[in-house]
Every structure is written in C-alpha cells, then in structure tokens.
C-alpha cells in the first residue's frame, strides 16, 4: 500500500475546490446548494452539507461512467482492500448483492445459496430469474443463533448440482460469526463456479489483525461489504469488490447503473472517500481501541452470573471459524427476559442496541464507543431484576423448504392471504424474514413447512418482528400463491 497516495481524498478535494469557485447554480438538486432549503432544515443540518450535495457536473465525474475523481477514489479503495476493482455503492450492500447475482446467473440458471442469506439475496434471485438451491446453515442451540454453512455440507450440495453457475455465501453473519470461508471458496472454485460472498458485516476486517480474514484474501470472485454497518460512514454506503479476472466488469458496470440511482449522492461518495483515507492512515489504532473496549466489556460481563457472552471459545472449526471481537453478543436467558424485552429494559437506561433476538442482545463496540458507555451498560446489566421467563417452548431456525416454483415465477403469480394456521403445505408468494437480522425463512415459490409456521408464531408471540408476515389483530397471515 502506498501510504502517500492513500493520504489523498480525490473526490473530497475536487468538491472542496468546486465549492470555493462559488458557482451560481441553475441545476438539481432542487435545494440549489442550500439556497432554497427551508430554514428548518438549514437549522437542523447547517449550510455546509447542502454545498456538498452536488450533482454530476463538470470536474466531479460520473459514478456510473467513472473516468475522473470518482475513478481515482475507487482505485484508492481497491488498492487499500487489495482487489482488482472496487465500486462505491450508494444504495447499500443490497445493490451489490443484486449485481453479483445478475452478473453471474441468467434466467433459469442454478445458483447455490447459503441458508443464512439476507432477504436482499432473494430479491436478486427474483430479478435474475435464477433457480436457487439452498444449503442449510448450522444452528447454535446454546445461543439460539443461525451461524454458517459448513464446507462439507456445501460440497455435498455442489456435487448434486454440478450445473450451478455460482455459489453465494454469507459470512460472517450479523453477529460477526464467520464460517470456514477459505475452504468454502476453494471448494466452489474446484467445481468452477463463481464464489460470491456477502461480507456485509466485514468492511473493517482488513484493518486489524485481530479481525477475521476477509474473503478477499482467499480469492472470492466478488465480495460485497456494507460499509455503513461497521465503518464510520453514512447509511447506504457500501462497497462491491471485484477480486478475480473471471468477473466481467463491463457487465458489472452496466448492472450497477441499472440497480442504483442515476443521481448518486455526492455526500455518500465523499463519505466513502474520506473514510477509506481514515482507515488507511489510522485504521489500525482506531480499531485497537475499539477491540480493547469490547474486550473490557466481555471480561466484566463474564464475571456476572446472569449473562453469557460469545467469545473465541465457541470456535469449532466447522460452522464457526472466527468471531469478530467488536460484536458484543450477550445471552440474557438466565434473567428470564427475552432479548426483545431486554432491549426495552436497556432503552429505559438510554441505551440503544443493534439488535435483539429471542435469547440475545447484540451491541456494536466500534470506533466512537468509549469505556464510559460500557460502564453505563454494565450498571444496567448489574441492576436488572431477574424474573420468570414467559418465552415458552423455543423452536430452531427453520430449514429452507422445498422450492416448487422459481422465486421469479412465484412472484409473478397472483397471491392471497392465508391464515398462518392454514398455511402449512401452501407455497409462499413473498419473502418472509424476521428482522433484524433479516435472514429469510420463506422465499417466493417455497413450500411452507410446519417448522417455519411455528417459528413465525414464536417470534411474533415474544414481541419480535417478522417482515413479510401480515399481522391483523391477533391473526397472522402469509401471502401464498393463488392457484
């Protein structure tokens, strides 16, 4: 890495220079660089931000036809991550996931998908018309968390589907639990398929040796990272990395121009440029501090009888190969609270967490988290009053059901609402996913199983949200294909 080059921020510099010219704006965006913005917004955001909210004007390049400063900024990101090409995404990792699928699978092609995939993967499959084959992901019973696909199970599925074009693996999961990504990529390549990796939760991995290794290091073909999840950048900013020369970048560029806005936010792109610079210059020391803070929290919580935390001891070399130290996963089962209830309890202590599930809460301890924040959290944990659990019987995360129609076919059929009690055996029309973490439990065209219905009921009963399920009063409905 060339540290002098990495110290530059070409897009930021170009915009600063442009603002200094004080041009008279006769162009979009409609706020005219803040001139027309309602006072209320000006007071809220200040003036400066509107000056940066520019459009594609001479000197500022085009995201979807990058030849100038955006290209330079993307090249610096590619150098930092050690890849052939990096594309800035302004519609989240979702846009990158859709692009990876559309660039490698045509209508009717087979694609193998890890069963812990985010709902955005199903969206990409609907768009492409591909036929998914789902590989079951392991489930950690102690914490009640879906983890990762194992290489052995993946290889068995590949051997039964040698005509598949691509394999899309999601790792690490939301909780920072990474699978054996090196072996999985080797297996995928042994069978000459594309290795597409959803590494949404790993944009920070290259910046500290204590983090799991990125799939980039193991030669995945394409890797998507949802930069805004863990890096100090803005919501919706993400990165698509092209690692190998097997990928047709011409096609990728065409697709990005289709799935993303044609009016990309310069505020988002500048944020990516400046955060890349920050990671190159100061990433190691900033993350060192965050890891120390997270380690302190874990050590203190381990000494409390009412909680368990996930740490390296869960590594088993199969579905759990590495754990991300900045994810603080606290199992609250012994308190009698569900994770959802515990989130409410922490909210009353002015603490906002990343997510809760039935048994756990997940907190990000990242750049900007300070020891004082952890001490307030520890106080709240220490003073919680134990109660009797109301969770009742728990059921594991459901396995993917049989695919009756391709997701695209099913999505183009008519649908009707079916009471959940009567849905078993019917075919799902939509995507259903408990949120967060957003891992799908039903894809369009999938047969609805009893275990899926039980799972939806359990999450709903305990105060969780299941996107795609329709709740009306006490009744829960699922959209099923009409036939």
Ligand X SMILES: Cc1ncc(COP(=O)(O)O)c(C=O)c1O
Q: Which CB atom, from 72 or from 138, has the smaller least distance to ligand X?
A: 138
Rule CB under 6 A: choose which of 6, 33, 86, 94 binds ligand X: 94
Q: Which CB atom, from 199 or from 273, has the smaller least distance to ligand X?
A: 199
Other CB atoms within a 10 A radius of the CB of residue 66 amount to 17
Instruction: Give the shortest CB-168-to-ligand X separation in angstroms.
Output: 10
Instruction: Give the shortest CB-301-to-ligand X separation in angstroms.
Output: 24
Stretch that binds ligand X, among 86-94, 345-353, 376-384, 452-460 (CB under 6 A): 86-94
Residue nearest to ligand X (CB): 92
Q: Is 198 in the site for ligand X (CB under 6 A)?
A: yes
Q: Would you say the C-alpha torsion 185, 91, 77, 286 has a positive or negative sign?
A: negative
Taking the CA of residue 82 as centre, how many other CA atoms within 13 Å lie in the half-sphere pointing to its CB? 13
Paired with 242 in beta bridges are: 85, 222
Stretch that binds ligand X, among 6-14, 28-36, 88-96, 461-469 (CB under 6 A): 88-96
Taking alpha carbons only, the member of 86, 83, 76 closest to residue 4 is: 76
469-475 long-range contacts, CB within 8 A, separation 24+? 469/420, 469/432, 470/417, 475/419, 475/420
Helices (H), ranges, 130-238? 151-160, 181-190, 227-230
Q: Which CB atom, from 231 or from 481, has the smaller least distance to ligand X?
A: 231
Question: In this structure, what are the phi and psi dihedrals at residue 432, rounded to the nearest 5 degrees?
Answer: -120, 130
Stretch that binds ligand X, among 89-97, 210-218, 320-328, 469-477 (CB under 6 A): 89-97
Instruction: Give the shortest CB-482-to-ligand X separation in angstroms.
Output: 30
Stretch that binds ligand X, among 24-32, 91-99, 459-467, 470-478 (CB under 6 A): 91-99
The answer to whether the CB of 325 falls within 8 A of the CB of 317 is no
Q: Is 137 in the site for ligand X (CB under 6 A)?
A: no
**How open is the CA angle 122-435-465, to the nearest 5 degrees?**
125
CA atoms of 79 and 280, how far apart (whole Å): 10
Q: Which CB atom, from 14 or from 177, has the smaller least distance to ligand X?
A: 177
Q: Which CB atom, from 172 or from 444, has the smaller least distance to ligand X?
A: 172
The answer to whether the CB of 144 falls within 8 A of the CB of 163 is no
Instruction: Tell me the per-residue interface mask from 201 to 240 with ligand X, x by CB under 6 A, - otherwise.
Output: -------------------------x-----------x--
Paired with 385 in beta bridges are: none
Instruction: Tell me the per-residue interface mask from 167 to 196 with ligand X, x by CB under 6 A, - otherwise.
Output: ---x---x----------------------
Stretch that binds ligand X, among 92-100, 214-222, 366-374, 466-474 (CB under 6 A): 92-100
Paired with 172 in beta bridges are: none
Instruction: Give the shortest CB-238-to-ligand X separation in angstroms.
Output: 5
Q: CA-based Rg of the chain, rounded to a whole angstrom?
A: 23
Q: Is 92 in the site for ligand X (CB under 6 A)?
A: yes
Instruction: Give the shortest CB-226-to-ligand X separation in angstroms.
Output: 4
Residue 28, SS3 per DSSP: coil
Q: Which CB atom, from 219 or from 436, has the smaller least distance to ligand X?
A: 436
Instruction: Give the shortest CB-211-to-ligand X separation in angstroms.
Output: 17
Instruction: Give the shortest CB-220-to-ligand X separation in angstroms.
Output: 15
Q: Is 99 in the site for ligand X (CB under 6 A)?
A: no
The answer to whether the CB of 51 falls within 8 A of the CB of 23 is no
| Helix or strand (DSSP H, E) at 453 | helix 450-461
Q: Which CB atom, from 143 or from 174, has the smaller least distance to ligand X?
A: 174
CA atoms of 20 and 48, how far apart (whole Å): 12
Rule CB under 6 A: choose which of 118, 298, 426, 479 binds ligand X: 118
Residue with tokens 């069963």: 115
Stretch that binds ligand X, among 41-49, 90-98, 268-276, 277-285 (CB under 6 A): 90-98
The answer to whether the CB of 236 falls within 8 A of the CB of 90 is yes
Rule CB under 6 A: choose which of 6, 86, 120, 233 binds ligand X: 120
Taking alpha carbons only, the member of 30, 96, 78, 54 closest to residue 260 is: 96
CA atoms of 82 and 7, how far apart (whole Å): 16
Instruction: Tell me the per-residue interface mask from 28 to 47 with ligand X, x by CB under 6 A, - otherwise.
Output: --------------------
Instruction: Give the shortest CB-49-to-ligand X separation in angstroms.
Output: 21
Burial class (CB in 10 A: 0-12, 13-18, 19+), 1: exposed
Site size toward ligand X (CB under 6 A) is 13
Rule CB under 6 A: choose which of 311, 438, 461, 470 binds ligand X: 438
* Residues 373 to 392 in contact with ligand X, rule: CB under 6 A: none
Q: Is 200 in the site for ligand X (CB under 6 A)?
A: yes
Ramachandran bin of 224, using left for φ above 0, alpha for ψ from -120 to 50, beta for the remaining angles: beta
Instruction: Tell me the per-residue interface mask from 141 to 170 with ligand X, x by CB under 6 A, - otherwise.
Output: -----------------------------x
Q: Would you say the C-alpha torsion 112, 115, 119, 122 has a positive or negative sign?
A: positive
Which structure tokens are listed for 345? Answer: 């309890």
Return residues touching ligand X (CB under 6 A): 92-94, 118, 120, 170, 174, 198, 200, 226, 238, 437-438
């Amino acid at each position: 890495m060339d540290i002098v080059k990495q110290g530059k921020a070409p897009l930021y510099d170009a915009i600063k220079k442009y603002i200094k010219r004080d041009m008279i704006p006769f162009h979009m965006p409609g706020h005219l660089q803040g001139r027309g913005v309602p006072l209320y917004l000006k007071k809220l955001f200040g003036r400066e931000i509107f000056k940066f909210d520019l459009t594609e004007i001479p000197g500022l390049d085009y995201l979807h036809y990058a030849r100038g400063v955006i290209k330079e900024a993307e090249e610096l990101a590619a150098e930092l991550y050690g890849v052939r090409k990096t594309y800035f995404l302004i519609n989240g990792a979702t846009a990158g996931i859709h692009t990876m699928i559309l660039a490698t699978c045509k209508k009717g092609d087979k694609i193998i998908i890890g069963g812990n995939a985010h709902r955005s993967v199903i969206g990409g499959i609907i768009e492409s018309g591909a036929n998914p084959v789902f590989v079951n992901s392991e489930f950690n019973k102690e914490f009640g968390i879906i983890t990762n696909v194992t290489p052995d199970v993946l290889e068995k599925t590949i051997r039964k589907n040698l005509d598949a074009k691509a394999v899309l693996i999601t790792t690490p999961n939301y909780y920072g639990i990474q699978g054996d990504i090196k072996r999985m990529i080797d297996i995928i390549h042994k069978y000459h398929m594309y290795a597409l990796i959803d590494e949404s939760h790993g944009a920070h991995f290259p910046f500290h040796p204590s983090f799991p290794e990125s799939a980039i290091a193991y030669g995945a073909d394409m890797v998507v990272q949802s930069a805004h999840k863990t890096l100090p950048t803005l919501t919706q900013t993400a990165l698509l990395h092209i690692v190998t020369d097997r990928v047709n970048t011409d096609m990728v560029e065409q697709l990005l121009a289709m799935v993303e806005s044609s009016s990309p936010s310069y505020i988002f792109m500048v944020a990516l440029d400046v955060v890349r610079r920050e990671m190159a210059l100061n990433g190691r020391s900033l993350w060192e501090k965050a890891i120390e803070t997270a380690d302190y929290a874990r050590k203190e919580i381990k000494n409390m009888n009412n909680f368990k935390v996930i740490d390296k001891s869960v590594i088993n070399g199969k579905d759990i190969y590495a754990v991300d130290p900045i994810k603080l996963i606290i199992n609250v089962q012994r308190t009698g609270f569900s994770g959802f209830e515990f989130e409410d309890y922490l909210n009353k202590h002015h603490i906002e967490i990343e997510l809760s599930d039935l048994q756990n809460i997940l907190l990000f301890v990242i750049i900007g988290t300070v020891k004082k924040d952890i001490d307030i959290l520890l106080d709240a944990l220490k003073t919680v009053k134990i109660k009797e659990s109301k969770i009742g019987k728990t059921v594991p995360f459901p396995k993917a059901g049989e695919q009756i129609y391709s997701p695209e076919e099913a999505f183009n059929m008519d649908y009707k609402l079916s009471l959940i009690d009567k849905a078993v055996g019917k075919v799902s029309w939509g995507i259903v996913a408990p949120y967060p973490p957003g891992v799908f439990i039903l894809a369009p065209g999938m047969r609805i199983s009893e275990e899926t219905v039980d799972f939806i009921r359990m999450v709903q009963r305990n105060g969780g949200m299941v996107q795609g399920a329709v709740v009306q009063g006490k009744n829960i409905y699922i959209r099923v294909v009409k036939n």
